[in-house]
Structures are given as structure tokens and as C-alpha cells.
Structure 1
Amino acid sequence: MAPLSATDHPDFLALLALTTSEDQLPAEVGQALTMPPQGPLNTHGPALCLTAQPRRGTNQSPVGALFASYPDWAVQHPLAQQRPHLTEILSRRALLVYGLAVAPQHRRQGIARALLTETEQRSRAVGYRMITLIHTPDLAPFYQRLGYITAHHIIIAMPGAAMGLTQPRPYMTAVKPLVPSVRVRLLPGAPGPVVSALLPGWDLPAEARFENGRLIT
């Protein structure tokens, strides 16, 4: 696994076009590939771009690609727009994998798992607390085996509020804590799994619950 090199841009984009959530990719993917790093995790502009090379053979073009950046919901969600300071905090705490793809002839060789593991290690090392991604239902067992919680509706608990993430069907959201303090819980009355302590120093009390769609702490 290695950061994307300039010579591999066309192959990288071709691989991302294979991802099952292609229409979830940001429109600025191509532009990001031309930008210098903008943070300790990022390799290209605001994004992390990783590739996997074939283990053998003379053709060393990438056979796997991963594109990740700050979550779009950290900017677009109504709660983030009501509380602008949340955008900066969330974008340094959660990473969204927008695209993960492996060339068809190289699948079932552990490449996707290796790309995700590398992403998790890099993210954890610089203080990120959660990885999230979007996927189709047929991939839920794969992500669950890697420790992800998958659902059509995920809730992120905030002080005095809750940020709901609902994907249009058939897509699902998967989340994985990167530190022990972040937990994914099932709360009474909640419409889906609840992520707690994504914001450092703030967790849900044991008696937390949902009533009429509102988080009660």
C-alpha cells in the first residue's frame, strides 16, 4: 500500500470508476489529485489517496485504489450548519472513505482489506477517532468482518443533539471506531446505531434514550 503517484492518476481514476458507490464520489476527485497535501493525513489536497500494486508481474499499474477525505456531512448536515464550529472539529475526528475499488482480476486477495487497514492505521496515528464509508447491502458482511457496524441509518451523538446520517436506498453507512472511547450503541427508541464520544471528552450517560426522534440525555 502506498500513496498515489503522479504517473498513476489515470489508473487510479479508472479504478474508482469501478466502486459500487461511484455516484457518491466528490465531483472534485480529479482536481484533488493535482493538489499538494493539506494535512498530516492527506496525500493530495484534503484527501488521502492510496494504491495497491500487484504482487508479481511486469505490469506495476495499481490494482487497488482508495480515496478518503473529510465527511460531506461534517459540512452539509443541518446541525453542522447551525453550529459552524462543528465542521472543523468533525473533519479532524472522522474520515469518510468515498471510494474503495479493486480490479476484478485481483479481487479476493485481501487487497481491499489491506487498503482499509492502512487507512485506519494512518488515521489513528494522527488523532482520528472514526472511519466511515458508504456501501451497498451485498458488501455488509465484508465490512462487518472488518469490525464495521453497518446500517441504513446511523446517529452521531452530540452535546444536546443528534446527527442522523441516512443513505438513500440501497446504500448503507458503515462506521468503525478507531479508539476504545468511541462506542457504537443501540439506545432505547433510536432508529439506528448511535455513535458516542466522537467528540473527545463527551459521552452519553447510561440512561440516554430517544423519544419522538429526539436524544434524551
Structure 2
Amino acid sequence: MSATDLDAFLALLALTTQGQLPAEAAEVLTLPPQGPLNTHGPALCLTAQPRRGTNQSPIGALFASYPDWAATHPLAQANPHLTDILSRRALLVYGLAVDPQHRRQGIARALLAETENRSRALGYRMITLIHTPDLTAFYQNLGYTTARNVTIAMPDAAMGLTQPLPYMTAVKPLVPSVRVRHMPGAPGPVVSGLLPGWDLPVGARFVDGRLIS
């Protein structure tokens, strides 16, 4: 990625990330390309360029990597092995942006579809992202479940992901064994099957927002 493209990539992402883009993103983008799946080490960086014209600067951009909560959530901090597991099974899209003059042309949809295909090929089982409420219908039409509170079912525990207002979390399974369920008492949708053995047992329930298995 040239210096010009790097600046254009970051400028695009600044339109919609609301400060969510990791601070090291610019450094990651300067790494030599490392293959067709994860393009830059632990990160996936995709761009969309116009089909015609002499100006081939990016008009769409996407940055994805392992989710920050895989390391910062209290359950992960208490079990570093869990961070390694989650970072190889869940992918977080930190930023997705399209130039305002090129929106409503399917560019964002295409970038997300490419991300999902590459993630699935790498063995990821779920993709997630953070968005504002006005984009709820857009992501739901692409098969995402969106909510302010999302819970990941784990053996004998539950990992809650809660966004500060007004942000919401969107999740989408990449394999059939991962399911997003709505359960009575849960603060929001519940993801099960992220790893083998992470299914919800018969009789599992939520009481006061806590998983009882």
C-alpha cells in the first residue's frame, strides 16, 4: 500500500469509526502484504477502487482484526489461554467506510462479503462489528443480529459484550454450528457454539442477566 493510498484508507475509515480504529492500524498497514487471506499480519485490510477513471484512490475501506474484548474482557484476563482461542475464532470489523459520492452502489456489501469469505477460509466462526443505530437495518439485511447487549455462551460462564450508547454490536455466524438465540431473561441475543462444547445445555436459563447452566 502506497503512502497516498494509506492516507486515503485512513481518511475513509475516519468517516465512520468514531474512534474505534486501533491506534496501531496505520503501522499495520505499512507491513508487507502477507497473503490473500489476512493481508497484513493479524489484520485484514481491504480497499475498493473505481472501475473506471484515472484516479484509482480507494473509495471504500475495511479494517478487521481479532476483537479487543478477546484480551480485555475480565474472563479473558483471568484466563490468557482464552484470549488465544477467541482471537482465532472471532473477527471484529473495526472500520467499514465508503466515500459519500460512491455510496448505495453495493461497495460496503461487497467488502463485508469478501471479509466473511476470507474469515471462513481461515477458520473463523463468527464475525462481529460495532455500529450506530441508523445502520441496524443495513446489517440485519446482510444476516447480522444487532443489539446493544450480546452474550457469548461459554462452559459454566457467559461473556457479555455491552456497548456504550448509542453504539450497538452486530454478530453473524460463519458456520452452521454457531447460533444466535434469544432467551428469556438474557440481556440480549446469545451466541452459542463459538467453540466445540460452548453450546447451551438443556435447561440453561438466564436469571437477573446471569447464565445458569
TM-score range, shorter chain: over 0.9
Structure-2 change in CA distance of 1:213 and 1:181 (3 Å):
same
CA RMSD of aligned residues (A): 1.5
The CA deviation at 1:173 is 0.3
Residue identity in the other structure for 1:199: L
Q: Is the 8 A contact 2:49 2:57 kept in 1?
A: yes
How many pairs are equivalent? 212
Indicate whether 1:17 and 2:2 are aligned.
Answer: no
* Structure-2-length-normalised TM-score: 0.95
The CA deviation at 1:186 is 0.9
Match of 1:133 among 129, 133, 136: 129
For the residues of structure 2 that align with 1:201 and 1:123, how far apart are their CA atoms?
Answer: 21
Match of 2:31 among 35, 50, 55: 35
Indicate whether 1:142 and 2:129 are aligned.
Answer: no
Residue 128 of structure 1 aligns to a residue in which SS? coil
Match of 1:168 among 164, 184, 194: 164
Indicate whether 1:78 and 2:74 are aligned.
Answer: yes
Which digits, 9 at most, give the CA deviation of each residue in 1:92-111, with x for residues without a partner? 00000000000000000000
The CA deviation at 1:39 is 8.3
Q: Please identify, of 7-16 and 146-155, the stretch whose mean Cα deviation from structure 2 is larger.
A: 7-16
* Structure-1-length-normalised TM-score: 0.93
Structure 2 unpaired stretches of 5+:
none
The CA deviation at 1:40 is 7.6
- Cross-structure match for 1:211: 207
The CA deviation at 1:202 is 2.8
Match of 2:192 among 191, 196, 206: 196
Which digits, 9 at most, give the CA deviation of each residue in 1:48-72, with x for residues without a partner? 0000011222211110000000000
For the residues of structure 2 that align with 1:155 and 1:40, how far apart are their CA atoms?
Answer: 32
Residue identity in the other structure for 2:207: E
- Cross-structure match for 2:111: 115
Residue identity in the other structure for 1:59: N
Q: Which runs of 4+ in 1 moved over 6 A?
A: none
